Amino acid sequence: MEVLTEGNWTAALEGQWFVEFYAPWCGACRSFEPIWQQFSEQRQPFDTKIAKVDTSTETGLAARFFVSQLPTLYHIKDGSEFRKYSGKRRIDNLEKFLADQEWKDIEPVVWYMKPNSLPMEAAGLLASIGEKMRLMINFLTDTYSIPMWAIVIALIAITILMGVFLGLSMVFIGGVFFPPKAKKPRVDTKKEAVVDQNTAVNDSKKDK
């Protein structure tokens, strides 16, 4: 049984994988655990690696795969086809799913929902940042007894300062690489025409 994390999940982009997303607190996951373990020991005939992901610690990875219920099973083929298994969670059904290649009858997820696509990478990153912030807040409140309202105010202040800093940085970079072009002075054609006309009149008077 392979264990996938945010650090090694890209290994599942090579070959054929069957992955379970679970959580220790999930009752259905605990019931399914011995079945999945037994099934993983019979993976050799199907040329498929069996793996699991603990969503309670790998929130970013769960967000990449858009996991909304537990347990969730994904079939991965060569890192380009991702299919969600929705059949019965019995060993014979799981074996049949691989042996008869029933996964071919399931429509793969669209490109922007693939876990290695840019949108889902962004979703995974945001989920990871959110989890780290949650852990940091718990650490501050438990260790230093800092009230929640103080942490919220500090986060808002940091967000505003970061926004101001990024905005000024963009203005500076824009000024350096894309300096404003000097405007050409506007020429008043009407005044020029009057001046030319007066000049011509004066010249004609001199000639006389």
Q: Is 17 considered catalytic here?
A: no
Q: Which of 26, 113, 125, 151 is catalytic?
A: 26
DSSP helix/strand/coil, 2? strand
Q: Which two tokens stand for residue 138?
A: 């718990």
With b for 16 or more beta-carbon neighbours within 10 A and e for fewer, the 22-43 pattern comes to: bbeebeebeebbeebeebbeeb
DSSP helix/strand/coil, 33? helix
In sequence order, what DSSP letters do the residues of 131-183 get, joined into one string? HHHHHHHHHHHHHS---HHHHHHHHHHHHHHHHHHHHHHHHHHHHHHSPPPPP
Q: Is 29 considered catalytic here?
A: yes
In sequence order, what DSSP letters do the residues of 42-105 get, joined into one string? T-GGGT-EEEEEETTT-HHHHHHTT--SSSEEEEEETTTEEEEE-S--SHHHHHHHHHTTGGGG
* Strand (E) or helix (H) holding 19: strand 16-22
Q: Which of 4, 23, 29, 50 is catalytic?
A: 29
Is the separation of the CB atoms in 65 and 115 below 8 Å? yes
Which residues are tagged catalytic?
26, 29
